[in-house]
Amino acid sequence: MTAATAPVRHRTPRAASAVPLNAARLLRVELRRNAMPWILPLIAALFWFDSYRPSTGAAPLYGLRTFWNMGQGGTIIDFGPFVAGVAAWMGSRDGRRGLADLVTATARPRWAAQLATWAATAIWAVAAYLVFVGILFAIYARQGVGGTPPWWWVAAGATAVTAFSAAGFAVGAYWPSRFAAPVATFGGFLAMMLSSQTGFRHNTGWALILPTNSNGNFDSQDSGIFFPWLPDLPIARIIFLAGIAVAALGLTGLPARAGGQWLRRAAAVLTLAGVALAGTAVGLASTARLSAHGMVIPALHDAANDAPITYTPACGHAAGVPVCLNPAYRRWLPDMTAALTPVLAEVVGLPGTPARAGQVAAAYTSSDGGPPQAITLGGHPTALRVSLGMLDMPGPCGFCDGPVATKQFVDQIRLAFAHAFVGAGNGGGSPVQQAVQAALLRGAGIPFAAQPKLVATAKNVPGPAPGPAAGPVYAAARRLATLPAVAQHAWLAVHLAALRAGRLTLKELP
């Protein structure tokens, strides 16, 4: 019998079933021999230092605690470049050791073996990322952080780690050098820095796809409290990052030594599919528009995500008026009632005095005609709508010069109330409205001398630069403030409608 006449042997069922078994065995070997676990203690230390530690300086709300580590990609910056470096080290392993020819001659296609090495690296990295983020959120939950975690951003972060591992692996596979790992890490860091550089400046268009860009999608602290985190942009980023990962892995299957012709064609198709996927995601991000709840991508948007989160409010009383907040803000309810009590007491019984006060969500989009107000009056019977998401809450504040004092918060609330009550709207108000506002604040315990600074530092009340409490407005306010409380109340009862309509002048003040 010659080779030509020998019968063709078909693969036995047992041999066919052995393929996945062998792949699993290879993966297990690669998992055991992987370098990734050795770098994880370093990443854990950096994760604690760079992602967890600064976040504890922010108010205990998920939107604020995770602004840096999730919204601006802090966890990705901590993980990604190092994962890319170790993946490059693993990808360059056979080439560095001079084993490329030896392993190319084995029964299994080279590309399949490389994919097993990459898969083991990615499994270690993604598992570590999920564990670290899980611990982070568990600590937040233990600290009573309000709201719901941004799970879609976690998914985007895990996909980013996968993409970094694939890109780093491709660098190592193509360049089996000792410098592959540092170059891949450096490239990862540079990419993230340039992403920050571009992302911080652009709040529309293609730049929204960048994983460090928080503009319009992570900068409302009421996301996850009043309304769900919109998944549109994270989904686009997941598609983009998955596309990069697929393209990078496809690239490793293109060289002649990777496998047979069909396998290399499959790798080419995979590369093109990855590029197309990433390009599609960039196109989707370009169509994003800002809504009240964050970035909406029409092709990905699910209307179900617009439904508000239902909750049972936490309520207290201020001057007999019920004050209700979202339970995520429950810890600040005493501060809120203490802030409103004196100003509500001044105006109780007047027409348009609020019958209740309730918290509303801080929207992403601002209303026309000036900055949105933290406190507005409206409805029938009149209700006070308080948007605490627009203010710095008492306690730690990651985005301020230091912690916010309770007095600072209380004064801001009183100013916002007085501003809304006199009908000043989104502007600074007419001179007479400013004078009445000043007199109300004086009655609530804020001296005239402290008011210019308070108005100047208020985020949502336009006003002049801080200076002395002088001029015709403060002179009129002093006149009004010297009247007995009953007389003030009586004057306001008669003139409140005209005051709010802006029809009064300073001379008409008593």
Applying CB under 8 A, which of residues 181, 239, 416, 477 lies at the interface with other proteins?
A: 181
Contact region for other proteins (CB under 8 A) — 90-98, 103-111, 235-243, 266-274?
90-98
CB atoms under 10 Å from CB of 273, counted, come to 14
Residue for token pair 């406190």: 375
CB contact at 8 A, 114 and 91: yes
Q: Which is nearer to other proteins, 187 or 253 (CB)?
A: 187
Contact region for other proteins (CB under 8 A) — 93-101, 103-111, 237-245, 426-434?
93-101
The end-to-end CA distance of the chain, in Å, is 122
Q: How many residues bind other proteins (CB under 8 A)?
A: 39
41 binds other proteins (CB under 8 A): no
d(CA 415, CA 294): 28
List the structure tokens of 21: 């078994």
29 binds other proteins (CB under 8 A): no
Q: Which is nearer to other proteins, 181 or 339 (CB)?
A: 181
Q: Is the dihedral of CA 174, 175, 180, 184 positive or negative?
A: negative
77 binds other proteins (CB under 8 A): yes
Q: Which is nearer to other proteins, 100 or 112 (CB)?
A: 100
Q: Which is nearer to other proteins, 35 or 135 (CB)?
A: 35
CB contact at 8 A, 82 and 185: yes
- Give phi and psi for 89, each to the nearest 5: -60, -45
Closest separation in Å from C-beta 202 to other proteins: 10
List the structure tokens of 86: 């170790």
82 binds other proteins (CB under 8 A): yes
182 binds other proteins (CB under 8 A): yes
404 has which bridge partners?
395
81 binds other proteins (CB under 8 A): yes
Applying CB under 8 A, which of residues 17, 28, 102, 201 lies at the interface with other proteins?
A: 201
100 binds other proteins (CB under 8 A): no
Vertex 484: Cα angle to 417 and 348 (nearest 5):
35
- For residue 130, the Cα-to-chain-centroid distance in whole angstroms is 17
Alpha helices in 92-176 (DSSP H): 93-96, 100-104, 110-142, 151-174
Q: Which is nearer to other proteins, 178 or 407 (CB)?
A: 178
Residue for token pair 């951003």: 153
193 binds other proteins (CB under 8 A): yes
295 has which bridge partners?
290
Applying CB under 8 A, which of residues 65, 70, 78, 339 lies at the interface with other proteins?
A: 78
Positions 138 through 177 that interact with other proteins (CB under 8 A): 176-177
CB contact at 8 A, 358 and 326: no
List the structure tokens of 275: 């590029």
487-510 residues labelled b (16+ CB within 10 A) or e (exposed): ebeebbeebbeebbebebebeebe
56 binds other proteins (CB under 8 A): no
Applying CB under 8 A, which of residues 148, 196, 305, 365 lies at the interface with other proteins?
A: 196
189 binds other proteins (CB under 8 A): yes
Vertex 427: Cα angle to 421 and 432 (nearest 5):
55
125 binds other proteins (CB under 8 A): no
Closest separation in Å from C-beta 99 to other proteins: 8
Applying CB under 8 A, which of residues 25, 28, 178, 459 lies at the interface with other proteins?
A: 178
Residues at the contact surface with other proteins, assessed by CB under 8 A? 38-39, 42, 45-46, 49-50, 53-54, 57, 77-78, 81-82, 85, 89, 92, 95-99, 176-179, 181-183, 185-186, 189-190, 193-194, 196-197, 200-201
